[in-house]
Structure 1
């Protein structure tokens, strides 16, 4: 059996067409992609779900579109992973009609949930035990002992705080459980930011109150973001460094992207997943197919 490397991609709703197209191309042109790379999940939320955290996603998605999206990825044997990481959730919120509808529609034993609040996690484990539960990086676990304690709990995976991305001592200590640790490779924010927890809470409040997102007052905030910005950050893991992590036993890597431009997300996919010699070909294939999808959608609206 091959020792696959799994990549977890952002925005199953907002980047649905991009992610679906990429998955298809990885199967049609496997020699154009790095050896043994697979899509392990697509993560995110449907617009307007109050359990969502990390990044505010406002709006609404009708039931048929929710069903369509879940079926689309599950039919390709890719789990949908919900970012139920709102850090301000209270017991009164766990009975939300819309969020529970989403969970029922996805309750087929194939999908996953990111969690960080015990009150919601306990409810989800009781009501939806068929999901795989993953400990979120929004917990900000940077103490090595607490990290190991987290990995002893009943989690399918634990997402590493990116402040630890290059801590060799911590990474080596995770060897026996490395295949259950997920690493965020291209975070655009600065490591050790003192306002990070407050930023998560601010985003959570936006989600709960359906507030139009306003800029969070942070000295590290950037107006325009690009993949080049990600590469300049201390937490960034380059293509050349990937082998070191794989050699240590890590098998799960996460790409940033929620709330960012699709062009940045596409650049990150090209950089990490596609062989350099084939990047122009795969990028052209993606752009061509996305244009075809858009044309079909526009034609359908005119009928």
Structure 2
């Protein structure tokens, strides 16, 4: 098996979960038809498992805030046309019972419950998870990385919860190969690794960062916390000991029995999203053709 991303053994399939359901609609209007029609540009073993996100003013939102202006029906129609599952990022960690009646968030649930490939919701709050399971049973649930479960035993316990179809571990567990390899097959199928986190592995305030975002989405006072990671740089993420690159996926994770990988990127520019797609999904010798198809032409000036 080649470490450059060229081959996956047997019938292995890798499912990438991409950001920007509401932010990058214009990008996906160009990219998704390209991915469907020019498969020779991309690795044959990869597909798009879902596109995730939330509107900018979403009360239940978490992880990021202030991004996402696309219309919900239009966002659903776009992914439906390509048979891709949409996921609502409902990972607010500070929800209270009075927030469950929010009209906009409930309307989003009704809309995305109709997804032809099955709609999902990424959740942090157990209160919200119970509410969604009761009110919108057609939405599958994903346990959010915002829970910051850094102990493997806690992560494994989360995997064993029957209400979750997928669990995204804290990125600092990405290289816990001994414990990961010992998981039974049915639990490996539920693991969805966060590949390209830029936050330092030494960060002790990651949960506080997510709580700050949750407060903002609730319209509450900002506590002034700012992420220690600073401006996102893919090159810096690649130097992290927790980074999972395409060679790692093909050479290590797929042979161990894992197939789901999440790419972060909400709140970044679509040019950075394209770089993620080039790295993870595109054959190196066809990357220029993908750039040309998406944006590059002979009249383009950078400055």
The question of a shared fold, defined as TM-score above 0.5 by the shorter chain, is answered with yes
Is contact 1:231-1:238 (8 Å) kept? yes
Matched, 1:138 2:146: yes
Give the superposition deviation at 1:104: 1.0
CA–CA distance in structure 2, aligned partners of residues 2 and 25 of structure 1: 23
Show the counterpart of 1:93. 99
Q: Is the 8 A contact 2:86 2:120 kept in 1?
A: yes
Question: What is the SS of the residue equivalent to 1:40?
Answer: strand
What TM-score, normalized by structure 1, do the two folds share?
0.87
The change in CA–CA distance for 1:271 and 1:175 in structure 2 (over 3 A counts) is: farther
Alignment RMSD, CA only? 2.2
Correspondence 1:91-240 to 2 at 5 A: 91-108=97-114, 110-154=118-162, 155-176=164-185, 177-209=187-219, 216-218=225-227, 220-222=228-230, 224-240=231-247
Residues in 1 aligned to 2:229 and 2:170: alpha-carbon distance in whole angstroms: 19
Contact 1:83 1:114 in 2 (8 A): yes
Tell me the distance in 2 between the aligned counterparts of 1:58 and 1:257: 11
Tell me the equivalent position of 1:16. 25
Q: Which residue of 2 aligns with 1:241?
A: 248
> Cα offset for 1:288?
5.7
* Secondary structure at 1:14 match in 2: coil
Paired residues of 1:190 and 1:234 also in contact (CA < 8 A): no
Match of 2:41 in 1: 32
2-structure distance, mates of 1:97, 1:149: 33
Kept after mapping to 2: 8 A contact 1:159/1:181 = yes
CA distance in 1 between counterparts of 2:243 and 2:154 reads 23
Shift of 1:96: 0.3
Runs of 4+ in 1 over 6 A off after TM superposition: none
Q: 1:45 aligns with which of 41, 54, 78?
A: 54
Going from structure 1 to structure 2, the CA distance change for 1:249 and 1:104 (only over 3 Å counts) comes to: same
> Which runs of no fewer than 5 residues in structure 2 stay unpaired?
1-9, 298-303
Q: Secondary structure at the match of 2:248?
A: helix
User: Is 1:94–1:123's contact at 8 Å kept on the other side of the alignment?
Assistant: yes
Measured after TM superposition, the shift of residue 195 of structure 1 is 0.6
Give unmatched runs, 5+ long, in structure 1.
290-303
* CA offset digits 1:146-176 (Å, max 9, x no partner): 2222111121111121001111112212352
Instruction: Please give the TM-score of this superposition, normalised by the length of structure 2.
Output: 0.87
